[in-house]
Amino acid sequence: QQQVKQSPQSLIVQKGGISIINCAYENTAFDYFPWYQQFPGKGPALLIAIRPDVSEKKEGRFTISFNKSAKQFSLHIMDSQPGDSATYFCAASNTDKLIFGTGTRLQVFP
Amino acid sequence: DGGITQSPKYLFRKEGQNVTLSCEQNLNHDAMYWYRQDPGQGLRLIYYSQIVNDFQKGDIAEGYSVSREKKESFPLTVTSAQKNPTAFYLCASSISSSKNTGELFFGEGSRLTVL
């Protein structure tokens, strides 16, 4: 119930393409869904987050789509750039802990 | 600049030795966390602390210990009881844990290798 399942494990995208990473959860008490971006050798940093009262949130080229009934949410990166190459983690929380997905390694090639 | 400082960045340890990883924050955050990162397993919570002199076990606390004597400091000791300690360790903080908004601020990590 506390798990957050993330897919795919790795993703290769051409520059200018759309990167899509998916996450699913079971616990309906989760009420906050952030995405973190991590570059090699660094700690993760908050990228974008959403609450379940909205179905979509967009910040620049990054969009979260949220499907409450399906208990799924996804990150879309439009016009993917080589600088977006990183590991992305979805997460979910409802109390004082954050539960992370297993991560997606994104590689964007020129 | 405000942030989280972890040290050392790299650490080598012989089997059977305890080692302590340092984590200091100057963000005036109440809550602090320790995560372990292994390839393909994401970030797993080891311990967290909501206030000074109080801390709780996370999902993988066995073989680890922590202390929270000061608000800005949350050191993690990896004991010899930890069966597979080689990993990347991340410290994080958040403003408050009374209602987790998911806004964790992470340090740059400490990579521990057991020889």
pLDDT in tens, B8-31: 999 999 988 999 999 999 999 999
Return the pLDDT at B95: 85
pLDDT over 60 (residue A108): yes
User: In chain A, which residues have their Cβ closer than 8 Å to the Cβ of B103?
Assistant: 34, 46, 49
pLDDT over 70 (residue A88): yes
Residue type, A10: S
Q: Over the stretch B37-96, which tens digit does the pLDDT of each residue have? A: 998 788 999 999 999 999 999 999 999 999 999 999 999 999 988 889 999 999 999 987
Cα separation, B32 vs B15, in Å, equals 28
B97–A contact, CB cutoff 8 A? yes
Return the pLDDT at B28: 92
Q: Please judge whether A43 and B108 are an interchain contact, meaning their C-beta atoms are less than 8 angstroms apart.
A: yes
Helix count and strand count (H, E) for chain B: 0, 11
Nearest CA distance, A48 vs chain B (angstrom): 10
Residue type, A34: P
Nearest CA distance, A45 vs chain B (angstrom): 7
Residue type, A52: P
Give the sign of the dihedral formed by CA B32, CA B4, CA B36, CA A74: positive
Q: Please judge whether A98 and B90 are an interchain contact, meaning their C-beta atoms are less than 8 angstroms apart.
A: no
Chains A–B, number of C-beta pairs less than 8 Å apart = 63
